[in-house]
Chains A and B, each alone.
Chain A
């Protein structure tokens, strides 16, 4: 974090917009699950396929593990969404989001010959919207913007304020003396 990047105005706007949209999407996914008393990850886990299918299906067989998976999904999505939108802990939020959405992808990869009970959104082959969201979160991770637009920047400024203020005053005094 020693060297925080700077961007052109257009770059910054697009990157912040991306961060907000992903945050919005994940936050609402979490809230809607929280508000739906009938929601459970069990069906999704049971329906999983490919490499991690066995693990996910075994998890679905245990009500205790399903409860843990439900809590992680709901609160993971809500906290990650909030962090991305507010611009705080975004580095961790981006990594957490990549892991969570990455698991969604791995449980239901659109491979040739795999079929799922859950209806898919659109048509996908290997690449689906989950995978693209993982990549978008990678962009959020490597092009951080919270120090410019977000609580992280504000907090940093609040901490740096006294020193920065002093520097400005010193410079003004210098100028006055020089004139």
Chain B
């Protein structure tokens, strides 16, 4: 052994210098990456903490469901009462595609300790389906023919309202006056006057009131709020939001049920405060296409984007709104536009700046929608002097090339305008199974699901759960009457601007639309 010569050793250990070089290189690279990351994180100081799930107490809440259409069914599922038809379809879907975890996610939902004691739907078929969905071994929901009877029932503590828009306020006001807690879908109201009435009714009654903007529970929005508060973006001057859909379903051309008839549908009750017309299946199932029942792209989809931003910036009502658009992609007799743009002005908006005082103030919120194109590349953008945030279920922040705050880091090459400064993906370790382009659209808006403790959770489930917590222990809800008032009123201003072609202004001192008496609001069924 002693006589192994130098040559033998060199040959035997030939890998070591290569290994050493690789080790040094890898360490240097790791150090470099970490150093940059630390510099950026230190500068940004962003916390992406997950809030705890709202608690569930032993107190059972007895619920009435009013409206069991597409959304009513989804809300009932978020409560833990999926209908059999959906369950069997999801089993089949999961068998065909292992990526489809909708059933698995549903089964993993915590039970909310609620009982569906009452249902009300003016279409017999849907009412029967709602009874079936809510039935358990020890409970069968009772069907009420009218919402008043349901609200007055002593078996009901709280109601979930998922009817056409023109019914939201009358039902929510009646429920509040009866002391029943309310979860109502967006748009919170259909008309201007009832928005004030509902506000007063909720304030007076002290009920727990939640508007169905479930994205407020999405983790990325909670992180986004922290990013904005820490001034990572600098002064935000422009926000761009949008809707891109390109299907009949996405344009509210819903299926007309084969059993629909004047015998199975209580047509007069459906109409409510809408102008009286003879029985019309298309109006019943595709109500979103008419101003008499729906609120169009404004109340249906702009409200989501408006509230997504309002929950981050708390910018409230705009000083003015202009809107334009038309029926360009689904010329089927509908009234509401299918291509629609809204611009809201916030001249007083200011949340801090990296530049000299007084230089920056004011912001524009822009919403642009088409139901004739599904290009996925138009993200929600918050554009600030120091950076741009692209916001969805994940979020990405890019530094601005001309940023004041990051000028030194940009000059040093530590950060680059085309490389994200911060990227947050709640699911970096997991896998997403999004089943369609429409699902991807909704998921990316934070409307379908979010993550808690690494588990994918239906954000509607958390939103309803938060409302139930409020009912049980008085804890605060995320989208109450103040937020709802702003959502609904900005939507009505948008509709008014579109339908009259005028620039609609808000009178902050008097809490009303400026010169409202000069608008034909009675004629437009907006009073």
Q: Which of A58, A150, A153, A158 contacts B98 (CB 8 A)?
A: A58
Residues of A within 8 A of B15 (CB): 20, 23, 85-87, 150-151
Closest-by-CB residue of A relative to B100 is: A61
Within 8 A of B (CB), among A112-156: 148-151, 153-155
Asked, given contacts A24-B18, A46-B431, A85-B15, whether A158 binds B30 with beta carbons under 8 Å apart, the answer is no
Within 8 A of B (CB), among A16-65: 16, 20, 23-24, 27-28, 31-32, 35, 38, 40, 42-43, 45-46, 54, 57-58, 60-61, 63
**Are B11 and A149 in contact, with the CB atoms below 8 A?**
yes
Let me know if A177 is at the binding interface, CB within 8 A. no
Closest-by-CB residue of B relative to A45 is: B431
Give the CA-CA distance A149 to B4 in the complex, in Å: 15
Shortest C-beta distance, A155 to chain B (Å), equals 8
Give the CA-CA distance A155 to B4 in the complex, in Å: 11
**Are A158 and B26 in contact, with the CB atoms below 8 A?**
no
Let me know if B12 is at the binding interface, CB within 8 A. yes
Given contacts A82-B19, A149-B14, 7 further A-B contacts (CB under 8 A): A24-B18, A61-B99, A151-B12, A153-B12, A154-B9, A154-B12, A162-B1
Closest-by-CB residue of A relative to B5 is: A157
Give the CA-CA distance A57 to B11 in the complex, in Å: 45
**Are A161 and B14 in contact, with the CB atoms below 8 A?**
no
Within 8 A of A (CB), among B1-48: 1, 3-4, 8-9, 11-16, 18-19, 22, 25-26, 30
**Are A158 and B4 in contact, with the CB atoms below 8 A?**
yes
Closest-by-CB residue of A relative to B99 is: A57
**Are B8 and A157 in contact, with the CB atoms below 8 A?**
yes
Closest-by-CB residue of A relative to B10 is: A149
Let me know if A165 is at the binding interface, CB within 8 A. yes
Shortest C-beta distance, A127 to chain B (Å), equals 27
Q: Which of A28, A61, A154 contacts B431 (CB 8 A)?
A: A61
Q: Which of B15, B98, B433 has the most CB of A within 10 A?
A: B15
Give the CA-CA distance A46 to B30 in the complex, in Å: 28
Asked, given contacts A46-B99, A148-B11, whether A85 binds B18 with beta carbons under 8 Å apart, the answer is yes
Closest-by-CB residue of B relative to A21 is: B18
Residues of A within 8 A of B8 (CB): 153-154, 157
**Are A161 and B99 in contact, with the CB atoms below 8 A?**
no
Q: How large is the interface on A (under 10, 10 to 19, 20 to 34, 35 or more residues)?
A: 35 or more
Q: Which of A24, A38, A40, A158 contacts B22 (CB 8 A)?
A: A24
**Are A161 and B22 in contact, with the CB atoms below 8 A?**
no
Asked, given contacts A54-B98, A149-B14, A151-B13, whether A165 binds B431 with beta carbons under 8 Å apart, the answer is no
Chain B residues within 8 Å of A, Cβ to Cβ? 1, 3-4, 8-9, 11-16, 18-19, 22, 25-26, 30, 98-99, 101, 428-431, 433
Q: How many A-B residue pairs have CB under 8 A?
A: 80
**Are B431 and A42 in contact, with the CB atoms below 8 A?**
yes
4 closest Cβ pairs, A-B complex: A154-B12, A85-B15, A86-B15, A38-B428
Residues of A within 8 A of B19 (CB): 82, 85-86
**Are B14 and A28 in contact, with the CB atoms below 8 A?**
no
Shortest C-beta distance, A94 to chain B (Å), equals 15
Chain A residues within 8 Å of B, Cβ to Cβ? 16, 20, 23-24, 27-28, 31-32, 35, 38, 40, 42-43, 45-46, 54, 57-58, 60-61, 63, 66, 82, 85-87, 148-151, 153-155, 157-158, 161-162, 165
Give the CA-CA distance A35 to B18 in the complex, in Å: 20
Residues of B within 8 A of A162 (CB): 1
Closest-by-CB residue of B relative to A88 is: B15
**Are B428 and A28 in contact, with the CB atoms below 8 A?**
no
**Are B13 and A154 in contact, with the CB atoms below 8 A?**
yes
Residues of A within 8 A of B14 (CB): 16, 87, 149-150
Shortest C-beta distance, B30 to chain A (Å), equals 6
**11 sampled A-B residue pairs with Cβ under 8 A:** A24-B22, A46-B433, A54-B98, A57-B98, A85-B15, A86-B15, A86-B19, A87-B15, A149-B14, A154-B11, A157-B8
Residues of A within 8 A of B9 (CB): 154
**Are A28 and B26 in contact, with the CB atoms below 8 A?**
yes
Asked, given contacts A28-B26, A154-B12, A161-B1, whether A60 binds B18 with beta carbons under 8 Å apart, the answer is no
Q: Which of B12, B22, B429 contacts A28 (CB 8 A)?
A: B22
Residues of B within 8 A of A149 (CB): 11-12, 14
Closest-by-CB residue of A relative to B1 is: A161
**Are B429 and A150 in contact, with the CB atoms below 8 A?**
no
Closest-by-CB residue of B relative to A25 is: B22
Closest-by-CB residue of B relative to A38 is: B428
Q: Which of B3, B9, B22 has the most CB of A within 10 A?
A: B22
Residues of B within 8 A of A16 (CB): 14
Give the CA-CA distance A23 to B16 in the complex, in Å: 12
**Are B12 and A61 in contact, with the CB atoms below 8 A?**
no
Give the CA-CA distance A155 to B433 in the complex, in Å: 52
**Are A161 and B431 in contact, with the CB atoms below 8 A?**
no
**Are B18 and A20 in contact, with the CB atoms below 8 A?**
yes
Shortest C-beta distance, A40 to chain B (Å), equals 5
Q: Which of B11, B26, B98 contacts A31 (CB 8 A)?
A: B26
Closest-by-CB residue of B relative to A56 is: B98
**Are A43 and B431 in contact, with the CB atoms below 8 A?**
yes
